[in-house]
């Protein structure tokens, strides 16, 4: 299949381009679409064939459910049966935006997209191009991140092409995404509601609107028979090809420890990368150093994380050492993705230095 790349400017929507993308979706095809979080692999949500193709193209296990994206609040009631008042409060506060809510599904929603579960995940993205394409497609579009399963999510159309060229009908290119990490997922079927995946919308922000919110369950074993309630609980996620290790300590110790680790690997003639920050990047003399963003503006780090992991892949880096990122605000979500990308691999800086 030849994948068509279609550029659309979010500030000046080209109606015929939107229509073209919408028609492909209506006819059962797959279109990668930009959203404010990451690029999504769009399919018509009400067509079970769309789900089948989505799982196949991503190489994703079919018990890992998909998010339905809507463009209008009126459409929500068609796909869910119970609507707690908290849902309306959160929708009012954060939609359109990077928040996904899990609710009880209506019969309109095929089990193919929910991994057989009675619940469905719904999000209304803030991206103008996504909104227009969803409407043109009939209002309900499933969109998992548009990467091959297990790889870092795509934050540019080029990343999507890297993974899915020749496998899908179209990639809509609207430039680099704004946020760079996937939406916050909150399960509204439990009381109190539980965060299954942290994102730009933090627990504090949610609690300000609806009161108590808890952190969802942790990791499921890879061979577990239980259905995963959140990404990365069961499957390895967001991972670069090289071995990523996060070094923890105070910042001065971290940079020293990383330099030491890098030098050891260089002596073994291995390709080594460093994830550094604007504040520290100039301190490293050896290794492939990437400046991920500023410690005083964690949004810059969120926006660059996946792109940098992909760069390391292209450069065939075998070992990557990362400084640890502060966990306030969106830092909690950054930490969550880095933890999974590293397969929970940490080293204590102090210990590295003293060895």
Q: Give residues in contact with ligand TXA (CB under 6 A).
A: 35, 37-38, 40, 64-67, 98, 100, 102, 114, 117, 119-121, 123, 125, 143-145, 182-183, 185, 196, 228-231
Helices and strands (H and E) in the chain: how many? 12, 16
Report the nearest approach of ligand TXA to the CB of residue 15 (Å).
23
Is 255 a binding residue for Mg ion by CB under 5 A? The answer is: no
Q: Please check whether residue 260 is in contact with residue 244, taking contact to mean a CB–CB distance below 8 angstroms.
A: no
Q: How many residues of this chain bind Mg ion (CB under 5 A)? A: 1
Report the nearest approach of Mg ion to the CB of residue 55 (Å).
12
Nearer to ligand TXA, 186 or 276 (CB): 186
Q: Pick the piece of the chain touching Mg ion (CB under 5 A) from 137-145, 163-171, 280-288, 290-298.
A: 137-145
Closest CA to 155 of 309, 27, 295: 309
Among 100, 131, 145, 299, binds Mg ion (CB under 5 A): 145
Nearer to ligand TXA, 190 or 266 (CB): 190
Report the nearest approach of Mg ion to the CB of residue 181 (Å).
11
Please give the helix or strand (H or E) that residue 204 lies within, else none.
helix 203-210
Enumerate residues 6+ apart whose C-beta is below 8 A from 337. 181, 237, 238, 305, 306
- The partner in contact with residue 38, picked from ligand TXA, Mg ion, none with C-beta cut-offs of 5 to 8 angstroms by kind, is ligand TXA
Q: Pick the piece of the chain touching Mg ion (CB under 5 A) from 118-126, 143-151, 252-260, 310-318.
A: 143-151
- The partner in contact with residue 131, picked from ligand TXA, Mg ion, none with C-beta cut-offs of 5 to 8 angstroms by kind, is none
Cα(267)–Cα(341) distance, integer angstroms:
25
Report the nearest approach of Mg ion to the CB of residue 153 (Å).
5
- The partner in contact with residue 139, picked from ligand TXA, Mg ion, none with C-beta cut-offs of 5 to 8 angstroms by kind, is none
Enumerate residues 6+ apart whose C-beta is below 8 A from 271. 242, 288, 315, 316, 317, 318, 319
Closest residue to Mg ion, judged by C-beta, is: 145
Count of residues making up the chain: 355
Cα angle 200-90-79, degrees, rounded to a multiple of 5:
105
Closest CA to 206 of 354, 324, 93: 93
Instruction: Say if strands 288-291 and 272-276 run parallel, antiparallel, or are unpaired.
Output: parallel
Q: Pick the piece of the chain touching Mg ion (CB under 5 A) from 1-9, 89-97, 145-153, 245-253.
A: 145-153
Q: To which residue do tokens 């659309």 refer?
A: 8
Per-residue buried b or exposed e for 110-139, using 16+ beta carbons within 10 Å of the residue's own CB: bebbbbebebbbbbbbbbbbbbbbbbbbeb
Q: What residues are paired with 44 via a beta bridge? A: 141
Report the nearest approach of ligand TXA to the CB of residue 330 (Å).
13
Q: Please check whether residue 184 is in contact with residue 100, taking contact to mean a CB–CB distance below 8 angstroms.
A: yes
Closest CA to 171 of 184, 185, 157, 186: 157
Report the nearest approach of Mg ion to the CB of residue 165 (Å).
18
Nearer to ligand TXA, 39 or 321 (CB): 39
Nearer to ligand TXA, 6 or 160 (CB): 160
- The partner in contact with residue 35, picked from ligand TXA, Mg ion, none with C-beta cut-offs of 5 to 8 angstroms by kind, is ligand TXA
- The partner in contact with residue 54, picked from ligand TXA, Mg ion, none with C-beta cut-offs of 5 to 8 angstroms by kind, is none
Nearer to Mg ion, 131 or 145 (CB): 145
- The partner in contact with residue 185, picked from Mg ion, ligand TXA, none with C-beta cut-offs of 5 to 8 angstroms by kind, is ligand TXA
Cα(9)–Cα(154) distance, integer angstroms:
18
Nearer to ligand TXA, 151 or 229 (CB): 229
- The partner in contact with residue 119, picked from ligand TXA, Mg ion, none with C-beta cut-offs of 5 to 8 angstroms by kind, is ligand TXA
Query: What tokens were used for 164?
Result: 């899915």
Question: If you ran DSSP here, which 8-state letter would residue 292 be given?
Answer: -
Query: What does the binding site for Mg ion look like in residue numbers (CB under 5 A)?
Result: 145
């Amino acid at each position: 299949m030849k994948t068509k790349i279609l550029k659309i400017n979010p500030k000046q929507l080209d109606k015929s381009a939107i229509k073209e993308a919408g028609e492909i979706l209506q006819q059962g095809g797959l279109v990668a679409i930009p959203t404010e979080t990451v690029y999504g692999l769009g399919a018509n949500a009400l067509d079970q064939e769309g789900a089948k193709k989505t799982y196949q193209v991503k190489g994703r296990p079919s018990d890992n459910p998909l998010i339905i994206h809507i463009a209008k609040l009126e459409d929500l009631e068609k796909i869910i049966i119970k609507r707690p008042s908290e849902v309306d409060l959160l929708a009012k506060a954060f939609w359109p935006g990077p928040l996904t809510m899990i609710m009880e599904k209506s019969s309109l929603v095929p089990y193919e997209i929910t991994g057989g579960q009675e619940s469905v995940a719904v999000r209304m993205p803030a991206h103008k191009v996504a909104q227009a394409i969803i409407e043109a497609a009939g209002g309900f579009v499933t969109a998992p991140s548009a990467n091959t399963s297990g790889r870092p999510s795509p934050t540019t159309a080029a990343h999507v092409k890297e993974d899915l060229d020749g496998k899908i009908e179209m990639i809509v290119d609207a430039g680099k995404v704004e946020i760079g990490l996937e939406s916050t997922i909150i399960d509204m079927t439990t009381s109190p509601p539980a965060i299954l995946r942290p994102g730009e919308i933090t627990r504090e922000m949610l609690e300000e609107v609806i009161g108590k919110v808890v952190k969802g369950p942790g990791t499921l074993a890879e061979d577990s028979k239980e259905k995963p309630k959140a990404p990365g609980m069961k499957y390895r996620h967001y991972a670069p090809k090289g071995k990523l290790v996060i070094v923890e300590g105070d910042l001065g110790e971290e940079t020293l420890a990383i330099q030491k680790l890098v030098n050891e690997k260089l002596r073994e003639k291995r390709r080594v990368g460093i994830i550094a920050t604007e504040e520290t990047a100039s301190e490293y003399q050896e290794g492939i150093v990437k400046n991920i963003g500023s410690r005083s503006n964690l949004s810059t780090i969120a926006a660059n994380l996946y792109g940098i992991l992909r760069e390391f892949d292209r450069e065939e880096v075998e070992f990557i050492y990362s400084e640890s990122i502060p966990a306030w605000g969106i830092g909690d979500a950054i930490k969550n993705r880095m933890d999974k990308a590293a397969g929970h691999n940490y080293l204590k800086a102090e210990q590295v230095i003293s060895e």
